[in-house]
Structure 1
Amino acid sequence: MKKIISIVLFSALGGALTLGAYKLFLEKPQIVIEKTVDESPVTVATNYTNVLGNSIENTDFTVAAEKTLNAVVHVKNTSYKTVRDPFAEFFYGQGSSTKQYSQVGTGSGVVFSSDGYIITNNHVVKGATDIEVTLNNKKVYKAALVGTDATNDIALLKIDENELPYITFANSDAVKVGEWVLAVGNPYNLTSTVTAGIISAKGRDLHGNGPVTDSFIQTDAAVNPGNSGGALVNTRGELIGINTAISSRTGSFIGYSFAVPSNIAKKVIEDLMEFGNVQKAILGVHGGELNGKVAENLDLDISEGFYISSVVENSGAAKSGLQKDDIIVNLDGVRITSYADLTGFLNTKRPNDVVNVTYVRNGEEFKTSVVLSKNEISEVSSLGLELKNLDVKELKKLNINNGVKVTNITNKELLYYGVKTGYIITAINGEKMYSVDTVNSIISAKTKGEVLRIEMLNLEGETERYIFK
């Protein structure tokens, strides 16, 4: 009897060990989601589920996908670099000392006109020697780079083709948080990929962790490397943004992606097509966004908006009567609650555009019209300089054709090396500087570790060169 019991016990133990080993090494662990169950359920939970299910079922993404898939292209960027090998030169002679290497990058682009104009990200084509575009039907074209804007991370391409399918622009100011969107692109070289999500936030500032644009549309649609330059569209298949960046610790999508709003992208490409550069406008005010703490320190009753700390002399804002301590809350019907809202709105405008401004002064709301002016002064914090455009008279007096003037120095190290107010920056990395916007464009396009070689005219008219790392 004892022997039989022992056999049964050993059999049970063996079976338990076998089952445990299977569970541990072979069977995939089951994902368990804990829920708190109410003892008396039910109507509310059931109704909520039905409403959610119905809303998802009634949202049809197929129309938007069909409209956009053929208008989103694959962009291939090839750059060639020549590298000198001193060891090969020493052993085998001068002819063998250089080798040429090619580097390939990929991304996406959006056809926005039937005659072959394509919008993408600047970082997708930056440094390209050759640009190749592949349509959804597998046709391949050589693309010409029409222009770029590093500040907003936008580039304009052109291919020789007509009657192409294209995507129309929507008003990105009109999109709402919670609205369904599709991201269309070519992640990891997987062509014609569509992902869905919602608008998570508008006017998002990445605080220097992404491209310079500080008024992104944030979504939870999956965007991965290769999606850059692709389309963010609404359920009608209209373009509301250009997918540009992701928030990730791994380099891949983990929850949020960011797109340049279509209103900004549209204005940039129109400027590049018409003027060859981006026309930037300013309101003529300095200040910052309000929050609860700032409002308390300033003894204000309002905690949202843009607080004016000073007004630029002779600017449109000054001429329209805006004053220090005014709070801008609305521009042309667009609510202004943050600095990103203000800059995002101004990025869609040009000099001489008229803007309707709603502001609060001493607790009362007022309205005025402001004529936007050209950006003449800029503080370049990364250089520690405040710069000002030179007019024709100043250029003639200095006997130069281009340059921007140093009006203030905040970097003490520059003072140590002898840089003074009144110096003229004439070139950066061999490129002539014509305006403060040109300087800002060069600075914003600077990659990590890149050296800036800046040429300046000193007060005696002599050229001095400085290297910024």
Structure 2
Amino acid sequence: MPAAETAPARRSPAFAKRRLPALAGAFLALSVGTAILPGAAIAKGPASLADLAEQVTDAVVNISASTTVETRGRTLPQLPPGTPFEDLFEDFFNRRQGDQPRAPRRSNSLGSGFIIDASGIVVTNNHVIGDANDIQVILHDGRKLKAEIVGKDSKTDIAVLRVKPDTDRPLKAVPLGDSDKMRPGDWVIAIGNPFGLGGSVSAGIVSARGRNIESGPYDNYIQTDAAINKGNSGGPLFNMDGEVIGINTAILSPTGGSVGIGFAVPTATAAPVIEQLRQYGETRRGWLGVRIQNVDDTTAEALGLKGGARGALIAGVDEKGPAKAAGFEVGDVIVKFNGIDVKSSSDLPRIVAATPVGKTVDVITVRKGQEQNRPVTLGRLEDNDKAQPAALNRPQPEADVTRQALGLNLSGLSDEVRRRFNIKDGVKGVVVTRVDPNSTAADKRIQPGDIIVEVGQEPVNSPTDVTRRIDQIKKEGRKSALLLVSNAQGEVRFVALSLE
């Protein structure tokens, strides 16, 4: 997860880190006096959280995960990077020592978790257990129970464990609540194992919902200012009713400690994953078979999308996917899926993934300004993770001519041009040979070697087609033109360029 620093799991000799590069280091604040206006209301928290903490603490556990790796051979002396003697030293030690066994290397991590079923079902973060081959669950009273992995999911960073409780000492479980009911400003408490200290309680509020920290395809985090540190990962975030509404997963911090910005996987995301892991030992997510991109205001105008920027723009359709069979096309905008509004492209993967495999749902799309309902029966994502968008099948271009439009020099796809830009045989369209650095096209990162496949959702095969289509769009009173642009390998994206 490159986006944020995890709150793991203290590791030996080092712990995993996740950061938000654009934001890390920016959170240096000065404490200043704040004037309080006469009569201003001052928010007051609950008088005490002790009763709530006492109610749920027994269900919160510490997780100790150990990984033992067999190693062979001798450790080479530390040499400067890139030294020319590195191969010489390696050859010398290998010949002299042979492939001698060495003591196994062992690494440990400490994290948190919580019991959701008194039969022994424990939830934590996937990154807390990693590839551990020895996992222990440490209860609040100090008991240690050996755990087995029921299932884990790296995409949502969730793992489900099972322990066998003592018959005469039953386990305490906590319920999952509805994270969708939480609002910014609602009080929460976090309980976990920060820095290996054991059960610690911290309190705060929900700072925000729906945070995308670019850690995975289903980011939808709850942000909280309750203190979360390394070792809190996998621990619960409770509402005031003692229900788990989030799984503490990551922190944003330039120092490695809590600065009041922590992130928890909401139960709305976690609950179906937990249920699938318990039932199948793996996830079974719905799969539509499209590649999508976001819709900005310029793109919305070019598409004639009423209501402004919204939905997920289809930039590729898998030939073997459900969307292809249902009649979806590149350029369609998905605005509603199974009765749920798709506000942005980041919404669609979460909604589709949460839909049962094999279910037929109604999907509302916008094509050339007109809404259409397309029923589609979902496939299974995990079977198709590496599926590629369909190869484009366009007519051959006209003879090579060169024209200029929208700050672009354009050329037909001759054999010479194809060799010059190393363009794959299956890619068809009009080649960009030069980009005016002061143009909107340059701002949108169009570059020489890109291929314009469509203009205004109509195929183009020559520079003449491009200029003719742009003139038509201008006559229609449109202020922007939507281009389908491919790279040399055939991967396409939509780019909206202003005509003003």
User: Does the pair score TM above 0.5?
Assistant: yes
Distance 1:212 1:287 in 2: 12
In structure 2, the partner of 1:340 is 346
Pair 1:200 & 2:207 matched: yes
Which residue of structure 1 aligns with residue 41 of structure 2? Answer: 49
The one-character-per-residue Cα deviations of 1:182-222 (angstroms, maximum 9, x if unpaired) are 22211112222222233333332222xx4564232222222
The superposition leaves residues 435-454 of structure 1 with CA deviations (integer Å, 9 ceiling, x where unpaired) of xxxxxxxxxxxxxxxxxxxx
Tell me how far apart the structure 2 counterparts of residues 370 and 64 of structure 1 sit (CA, whole Å): 46
Find the counterpart in structure 2 of residue 308 from structure 1.
314
Q: Once the 2 structures are TM-superposed, how far is the Cα of residue 117 of structure 1 from its aligned partner?
A: 0.6
Larger RCO, structures 1/2 (Cα 8 Å, 6+ apart): 2
Tell me the TM-score normalized by structure 1. Answer: 0.63
Which of 58, 66, 75 does residue 54 from structure 2 map onto? 66
Cα deviation, 1:366-403, whole Å, max 9, x if unaligned, reads 666543222354348xxxx779xxxxxxxxxxxxxxxx
Alignment partner of 2:351: what SS?
Answer: helix
Shift, 1:102, TM fit: 2.5
Check the 8 A contact 2:190/2:203 in 1, yes or no: yes
Alignment partner for residue 184 of structure 1, among 184, 191, 194? 191
Cα gap change, 1:286/1:211 in structure 2, threshold over 3 Å: closer, same or farther?
Answer: closer
Q: Which residue of 1 aligns with 2:122?
A: 118
Pairing 1:143-222 to 2, within 5 Å after superposition: 143-161=147-165, 163-207=170-214, 210=215, 213-222=218-227
Change (3 A) 1:212 1:359: closer
What secondary structure does 1:244 align onto?
Answer: strand
Measured in 2, the distance between the counterparts of 1:226 and 1:151 equals: 20
Letter aligned with residue 110 of structure 1 = F
The corresponding residue for 2:134 is 130
Structure 1 residue 131, shift from structure 2 partner: 0.9
Q: Hey, what does 1:76 align to over in structure 2? A: 64
> Is the contact between residue 213 and residue 260 of structure 1 (CA under 8 Å) also seen in structure 2?
no
Paired AA for residue 113 in structure 1: D
Structure 1 stretch 265-274 or stretch 236-245: which is displaced more? Answer: 265-274
Query: Aligned partners of 1:87, 1:289: CA distance in 2, in Å?
Result: 50
CA deviations 1:112-147 (Å, max 9, x no partner) are: 101001011111111212111111122111111222
Cα distance in 2 between the residues matched to 1:235 and 1:36: 30
Deviates more, 1:192-201 or 1:237-246: 192-201
Q: Does 1:230 align with 2:238?
A: no
The runs of 5 or more residues in structure 2 that have no matched partner are 1-29, 77-92, 391-421, 423-500
More displaced stretch, 250-259 vs 212-221: 212-221
Cα distance, 1:57–1:135 mapped onto 2, change above 3 Å: closer
Of the candidates 85, 105, 124, which is equivalent to residue 101 of structure 1? 105
Q: Would the alpha carbon gap of residues 84 and 132 (structure 1) be closer, same or farther in structure 2, given more than 3 Å must change?
A: same
SS state at 1:222 partner: coil
Segments of structure 1 that go 5 or more residues without pairing to the other structure are 1-30, 38-44, 388-415, 417-469
Per the alignment, residue 292 of structure 1 pairs with: 297
Q: What SS class does the counterpart of residue 41 from structure 2 fall into?
A: helix
User: In structure 1, what is the equivalent of residue 396 of structure 2?
Assistant: none
Q: CA deviation at 1:154?
A: 1.5
Residue 279 of structure 2 corresponds to which residue in structure 1? 274
Deviation, structure 1 residue 355: 4.2
Preserved contact between residue 224 and residue 253 of structure 1 (Cα < 8 Å): yes
Question: Could you tell me which residue of structure 1 aligns to residue 5 of structure 2?
Answer: none
- Residues 310 and 365 of structure 1, relative CA distance in 2, 3 Å threshold: same
Which secondary structure does the structure 1 equivalent of 2:291 belong to? strand
SS at match of 1:337: coil
**SS of 1:339's equivalent?**
coil
Instruction: Decide whether aligned partners of structure 1 residues 239 and 330 sit closer, same or farther in structure 2, where only a CA change above 3 A counts.
Output: farther
- Letter of the 2:129 partner, please give it: V
Q: Which one of the candidate residues 334, 342, 353 is aligned to 1:328?
A: 334
Aligned mates of 1:96, 1:211 — CA distance in 2: 41
**Alignment root-mean-square deviation, CA:** 3.7
Flag the structure with higher helix content: 1
Instruction: Give the stretch that moved more between structures: 67-76 or 84-93.
Output: 84-93
Distance 1:346 1:93, change over 3 A: same
> Deviation digits for residues 335-364 of structure 1, max 9, x if unmatched?
432333222233333312344545556667
Give the whole-Å Cα distance in 2 for the aligned partners of 1:116 and 1:158.
Answer: 5
Percent sequence identity over aligned pairs: 33
Matched, 1:373 2:379: yes
* Partners of 2:134 and 2:341 in 1: CA distance: 43
Counterpart of 1:86 in 2: which secondary structure?
Answer: coil
Q: Cα–Cα, structure 1 residues 333 and 189, in superposed 2: closer, same or farther, change >3 Å?
A: farther
Partner letter of residue 220 of structure 1? D
- 1:216-256 residue CA offsets vs partner (Å, 9 max, x unmatched): 22222221100111112222121222111111222222232
* 1:325 CA drift (Å): 4.2
| 1:275 Cα deviation after fit | 2.0
